[in-house]
Structure 1
Amino acid sequence: MIKLYDGGVFLREGIEIVPEAEAAARDISKTPDEARRETIAYSILQAHNTSGDPSALKIRFDAMASHDITFVGIIQTARASGMTEFPLPYVLTNCHNSLCAVGGTINEDDHVFGLSAAKKYGGIFVPPHIAVIHSFMRENFAGCGKMILGSDSHTRYGALGTMAIGEGGGELAKQLLSDTYDVAYPGVVAIYLEGAPRPGVGPHDVALAIIREVFAKGYVKNKVMEFVGPGIASMTTDFRNGIDVMTTETTCLSSIWATDEDTHAFLAAHGRGEDYKQLAPGDVAYYDGCVHVNLSEILPMIALPFHPSNGYTIAELNENLEDILHEVEVEAARIGGDKVNFSLLDKIEGGRLRVQQGVIAGCSGGNYDSVVQAARALKGANIGCGEFSLAVYPTSQPVALELTRRGYIYDLMEAGAIVRTAFCGPCFGAGDTPANNGLSIRHTTRNFPNREGSKPGNGQLSAVALMDARSIAATAAAGGILTPATDLPDETWDEACEYTFDSAPYDKRVYWGFGKAKPESELVEGPNIKPWPAMEPLGENILLKVCSKIMDPVTTTDELIPSGETSSYRSNPLGLAEFTLSRRDPEYVGRSKRVDAVEKRRVAGESLIEADPELAVVFASLNGAGVDADASRVEYGSMIYAKKPGDGSAREQAASCQRVIGGLANIVEEYATKRYRSNVMNWGMVPFQLKGVPPFEVGDYVYVPGIREAIGGDLSSIPAWVVHAGEAREISLYVADMTDEERAIVRAGCLINYNRTRREKE
């Protein structure tokens, strides 16, 4: 079904895969370096690179997009750094906190702020319920050869010929200041597709099968996934969009697809035929790896809790139901400890699995193609009046209009499904949260344990399994008994989905302000919208108190700063910070704030030891071990250790919330994603790494002398000392490569400080 190649490959004529070791024997004379330039990714990246150095990219994007969890902070950061106008098209959508049930007027206040910012700075404002962020960008901005930056991790428009990247807000603020996105030229991995999906197999099935094979191996981590091969032609562009958006869950950097006439037809249908051009690799292109996918062999998939990579075919699950479900129960017990009583085995009825809820929504499931297929499966069916429910969220108002015009909304509602407006809430816990101990099947993007409204730390745990809309509809038609779509007759799945795009909702409701900035306009700031607090430059030496230690294999963004109802406070840095690690280590915030209070007293003029007499023992231990540690020349802050943090969302709050309550550094084994590490640096924290088992516990101290000088020099070995139980022990930390600008930002204390200082020098 899927094969991963060891090492690099050449692709000849877009069809023939030649492993690098066989190149000479198969008459390939180009070197890998020469043939790397023949990939689609290379041509697009270099067209947007302003550095003049093909290996050290400084990218300027064609457009940007943010939603209402992130755009307030980004605009506040850019304002504080001197921005006066949006220099590129910047789309502000309101698809995450569209509801106002939590936090009083907070959500709507942010929407009002967004519209006022679009008017003042020349932006594009999409009101609530009009479109999911990625649908709007596909329909209006993605085009062949373009690059788009978004403050949402699922910013992926590769199937439309656009290299799109999801990053933290700091990277978008840089673009608003006409700065660049700096990254070393990434590896490029071919995703070679052949064959054609069988009837009943959808885009989520293909995506989950790929994720299952590559995630744990890190095969495409921080690389570009380039989709090539004859199998592309077997799928509609909307089908391809559904696969493409899920590439985020592989931890890749971006994605790009070869384009064809179906791509052209999609763009033309949206009034943008001129944005099409054929994209294909050159005669002989070199890739740093290859994922060979036979689409014909893909079967309906299910990604069980608690990660999109925990995938099985539904047939595999049904054949080993008790064993596999038991494994999930064991993992639930590990996550929730003695606070959680979670069971799946009790959901087996007559050898089949009963689920409690189905959801088809967002940037992956709400696409026109997927909703049409669900409606076809449910035409004339009866979901029933039992525990099972089904909610369907079309991804935009134009999609909902066309579904209504062609009768598909009628078929869904007549069968008992609930049809809602465009909204991302089910994906991150702001809508359709299943009941405690419930199991929900969803065509959405993630199924992390702390994501869809669950609070394991409070004893509340529901579980989400990811499936394609087709199999969700088949399950709904069976009243909630897990059913693969391939169990339905083949004629159910006519893949032809005629579509007429009606732009009326966008023409009438979207504020199109790019190039029309009104500097005299006032920003409307509700009472929850607060500026970023002041942050210090990096000290000459730093003392870190270990305030949390997480030994899980992976720590997601949603564990670092929970989504759901907490995001109502995303425009209030200190208010949101109260939720940092709240579902993983509830004591962290109190520990870090106590450290921060001591540091604030130091900045106000007290000595560290006056502010916290316990630190006298720490410095005595260091000096007793021969370390020249002078408490008068030390910046004090908190630190988190995690083995592999940052998988998932691009939200910069995962780092900024640590920073505003005293965070000064992270120490990790490795960073799960580039975007989280970038967030850490943009907020002025040192992104330390440590090999081996961490020799410290919560409450211990890590002293790093000469860190300010070290950040400007060799990062490969940074001496540090752990103070544990009154004894000091030397360890070696390191920091992976940083650009000159990243070093300067960390030394300045944060991106805002860096930009302010730079502006003062101009």
Structure 2
Amino acid sequence: MITLLKSGVYYYDGKLIADDEAGAAEIKRLGKSFSRKAGQKGTISYSILSAHNSGDDQNLKIKFDSMTSHDITYVGIIQTARASGMESFPLPYVMTNCHNTLCAVGGTINEDDHVFALSAAKKYGGIYVPPHMAVIHSYNREMMAGCGKMILGSDSHTRYGALGTMAVGEGGGELAKQLVGRTYDIPYPEVVAVCLTGTPRNGVGPQDVALTIIAGVFKNGYVKNKVMEFVGDGIGNLPVDFRNGIDVMTTETTCLSSIWKTDDQVRDYLKIHQREGDYRELKPADGAYYDGAILVDLSKIEPSIAMPFHPSSVYTIRELKENAEDILAKTEEEANKAIGVPGIAINLRKKLRGGELYVDQGIIAGCSGGTFNNIMAAAYILEGRSTGDGVFSLSVYPDSQPVFAELVKNGGIAKLMGAGVIVRSAFCGPCFGAGDTPANGEFSIRHTTRNFPNREGSKPGEGQIASVALMDARSIAVTAANGGRLSAAGDDDVYNHRPAYFFDRSIYDKRVYDSTGKPDGKTELVFGPNIKDWPAMPELTENLLVQIVSYITDPVTTTDELIPSGEAASYRSNPMALAEFTLSRRDPGYVGKAKAVKVLEEGRRKAAGPVPTEIETLYAKLKTIPGCGNTKAEQAGIGSAIYANKPGDGSAREQAASCQRVLGASANFALEYATKRYRSNLINWGILPFLVKDSSAFKTGDWLFVPGARRALLEKTDTFPAYVLGCNTDRITTIELSLGALTDTERQILADGCLINYYKH
């Protein structure tokens, strides 16, 4: 189905030629002469990045064409930018309300955030999309994306590559930088070609293709922090909606961004959306060079399923049905390790009846599932059939009001409702645990973006557990028609329709507030009682004394584990209230331990009261370390830290870092960081992203002393020593730390203590 090439490749006449001995012979036979250096400038990626870059070719300084945020992130971003001197939005900024749409948690606070956003759009000149109108990425596809553009979003699934837009999902700090006129600074990324050939077989949808690619590249890191550039004649065999569905899921590969070759179908899409002027043909130049290649034969992809608890845990539905007992047992073992709560375990094998696997719930929603073509496919499959009146239920969320309106006009909604499907409005809740939470022990299949632990809304710490598998809308619809018996589309149903779509822009014109470029500085921001300013953050002291208060040994730690989604999302405009949820589902003792360390630091800064015995003991140990005996309290800030093998997979939300920071965190320690965006969030909130080679050198409760931490940071020292002061023992161990690649700006942000402090200075 997919093949990963070990070498780089050149692009010529629509085909890829490997950068190896055989490829060199082929290039010679063609009478051509290619070079890597020149070829790197022939990619679509280079053409777009260079057009937005004010730095050099290797160190990019990017300014985006527009930005977008939703109601979990925009308050914090605007608050950060306000504190950093912003007076108006210098670029189009879309604020959608698709995450905290429901007001079931916390009383008025979700709607208070929406009112704040509308007042901010008026004051600073922005675009406000009311609740239920559109999910964040659907609005941007319909109204903002265009060929050759770049869009920055505070949501990890910010991907509009199929429309010729290079989009990047980052934490809020990076958006705040754009709002105060700064740039997005990154090294020039490697670019990997994704060559699509063939035509998908009957019943195969975009999620099947996406999951197959994710399974092939996630665990080996083949595209980590790289750009995926889609080429190949197979693109022309895919409707644009289908392409969008693949593209948005590239986030789960840990790539930086994505971009696709464009064609007349993209032109037609933009024309339908009354933006034909945003079209231009994008394609690689002959001789373009890629740092790797993924070959995808669309004709060989089968309907697939990603089992709990990761989008890369992929099987074909056929092999799952043929080997259900073994695969479910393996899934249970791996999933229960991921949950990590004693006495709580999923049991999927109990869903087997007569050799068939039965599921309890189906969801088609959000930026990946709720598109027009996906819903119409489900409608045609379910027409004249029934989802049944038993446990199984199916809910469908069209991704925007214009899509919903068209589905009403063409009869798609009637087909779904006639089969017993519940049709709802545009909402991202099923993607992150804020809607359609299953009953305890239930198993849900969803065409959404993620299936991490608790993304469906359960709370293992309170004795609840449920689980989600990812599937395509087509197979979900067939499963629904079979009363919840897991089934693959294409076995019994034929879906080859390409229904016409008519976009009614007036739906947005009548409700979306757009004052881009027309700020009204006299407008007062409307603050609900839950919207709070960021607390003060201390700058980095010369030396650092940190305690490991949480030690996580999972292979990968997601941002959902660092700060859970679901009900916690309602408190994201209140830094201290949200911080109470930090690591609550992975390490419930974290908050209390972090607060205890913060009390020590506050006492140090105030120099009030007697020195705690624990600190006296630590300073006594420091006197035995050569060169550290004269360390004074005012020279050594005290902070908490977490260790995780590979933290930061998943969401871009900055709160995964900021919540640690407001609780007094000074550092993270890791073997590596799962994503650039999480590491950037740490930096923007003044948390040192330390790298270690030997995690066994310390444990929970141990203190680490980092002498000269500030000096090493600012003098760009590659590696430097730190000392482990063992908990309840006299042992002192020396370890080596590093901070990895940092720009000069990032180093100063860390020294100043956070992005807000940096701008104040």
Q: Which interval holds the TM-score relative to the shorter structure?
A: over 0.9
Does the CA-based 8 Å contact 2:340-2:586 persist in structure 1?
A: no
Aligned pairs (5 A) from 1:65-104: 65-104=68-107
Residue 32 in structure 1 maps to residue 36 in structure 2: yes
Identify the residue that residue 586 of structure 2 maps to in structure 1. 584
Does the CA-based 8 Å contact 1:556-1:645 persist in structure 2?
A: yes
Identify the residue that residue 573 of structure 1 maps to in structure 2. 575
- The one-letter amino acid paired with 2:505 is S
Q: Distance in 1 between matches of 2:340 and 2:462?
A: 9
SS in 2 for 1:37: helix
Identify the residue that residue 499 of structure 2 maps to in structure 1. 497
Identify the residue that residue 667 of structure 2 maps to in structure 1. 665
Given the alignment, which residue of 448, 456, 468 partners 2:452?
A: 448
SS in 2 for 1:109: helix
Does the CA-based 8 Å contact 1:715-1:737 persist in structure 2?
A: no
Given the alignment, which residue of 251, 256, 261 partners 1:253?
A: 256
Identify the residue that residue 296 of structure 1 maps to in structure 2. 299
SS in 2 for 1:82: coil
Identify the residue that residue 553 of structure 1 maps to in structure 2. 555
Does the CA-based 8 Å contact 2:7-2:18 persist in structure 1?
A: no
Structure 1 residue 611, shift from structure 2 partner: 4.0
Q: Distance in 2 between matches of 1:76 and 1:648?
A: 24
Structure 1 residue 712, shift from structure 2 partner: 1.0
CA deviations 1:79-121 (Å, max 9, x no partner) are 0000000000000000000000000000000000000000000
Identify the residue that residue 483 of structure 1 maps to in structure 2. 487
CA deviations 1:220-277 (Å, max 9, x no partner) are 0000000000000000111100000000000000000000000000001000000000
Does the CA-based 8 Å contact 1:715-1:736 persist in structure 2?
A: no
Does the CA-based 8 Å contact 1:48-1:60 persist in structure 2?
A: yes
Task: Return closer, same or farther for 1:337/1:523 CA change in 2, 3 Å cut-off.
Answer: closer
Residue 342 in structure 1 maps to residue 326 in structure 2: no
Q: Distance in 2 between matches of 1:652 and 1:382?
A: 43
Aligned pairs (5 A) from 1:118-133: 118-133=121-136
- Superposed CA RMSD in Å reads 1.0
Identify the residue that residue 43 of structure 1 maps to in structure 2. 47
- The one-letter amino acid paired with 1:554 is V
Greater CA drift, 105-114 or 691-700:
691-700
Structure 2 residue runs of 5 or longer lacking an equivalent are none
Identify the residue that residue 9 of structure 1 maps to in structure 2. 9
Given the alignment, which residue of 728, 733, 737 partners 2:732?
A: 728
Residue 115 in structure 1 maps to residue 118 in structure 2: yes
Greater CA drift, 480-489 or 413-422:
480-489
Structure 1 residue 627, shift from structure 2 partner: 4.4
Aligned pairs (5 A) from 1:123-522: 123-334=126-337, 335-490=339-494, 493-522=495-524
SS in 1 for 2:201: coil
Q: Distance in 2 between matches of 1:705 and 1:482?
A: 58
- The one-letter amino acid paired with 1:432 is D
Does the CA-based 8 Å contact 1:622-1:728 persist in structure 2?
A: no
Structure 1 residue 598, shift from structure 2 partner: 1.2
SS in 2 for 1:614: helix
The number of aligned residues is 752
Does the CA-based 8 Å contact 1:621-1:727 persist in structure 2?
A: no
Structure 1 residue 30, shift from structure 2 partner: 1.7
Q: Distance in 1 between matches of 2:432 and 2:632?
A: 44
Identify the residue that residue 624 of structure 2 maps to in structure 1. 624
Does the CA-based 8 Å contact 1:74-1:170 persist in structure 2?
A: yes
Q: Distance in 1 between matches of 2:247 and 2:444?
A: 23
Given the alignment, which residue of 557, 564, 575 partners 2:566?
A: 564
CA deviations 1:274-293 (Å, max 9, x no partner) are 00000000011111110000
Does the CA-based 8 Å contact 1:339-1:458 persist in structure 2?
A: no
SS in 2 for 1:543: strand
CA deviations 1:525-555 (Å, max 9, x no partner) are 0000000000111100000011100000000
CA deviations 1:551-583 (Å, max 9, x no partner) are 000000000000000111000000000000000
SS in 1 for 2:613: coil
Identify the residue that residue 533 of structure 2 maps to in structure 1. 531
Q: Distance in 1 between matches of 2:572 and 2:230?
A: 36
- The one-letter amino acid paired with 1:49 is N
Q: Distance in 1 between matches of 2:167 and 2:667?
A: 29
- The one-letter amino acid paired with 2:280 is K
Q: Distance in 2 between matches of 1:562 and 1:631?
A: 38
SS in 2 for 1:694: helix
Identify the residue that residue 748 of structure 2 maps to in structure 1. 744
SS in 2 for 1:179: coil
- The one-letter amino acid paired with 2:33 is S
Identify the residue that residue 719 of structure 2 maps to in structure 1. 717
Structure 1 residue 349, shift from structure 2 partner: 1.3
Identify the residue that residue 755 of structure 1 maps to in structure 2. 759
- The one-letter amino acid paired with 1:499 is Y
Q: Distance in 2 between matches of 1:33 and 1:233?
A: 29
SS in 1 for 2:266: helix
- The one-letter amino acid paired with 1:483 is S
Structure 1 residue 461, shift from structure 2 partner: 1.3
Identify the residue that residue 760 of structure 1 maps to in structure 2. none
- The one-letter amino acid paired with 1:678 is S
Does the CA-based 8 Å contact 2:684-2:755 persist in structure 1?
A: yes
* TM-score normalised according to structure 2 size: 0.98
Structure 1 residue 603, shift from structure 2 partner: 1.2
Q: Distance in 2 between matches of 1:438 and 1:611?
A: 52
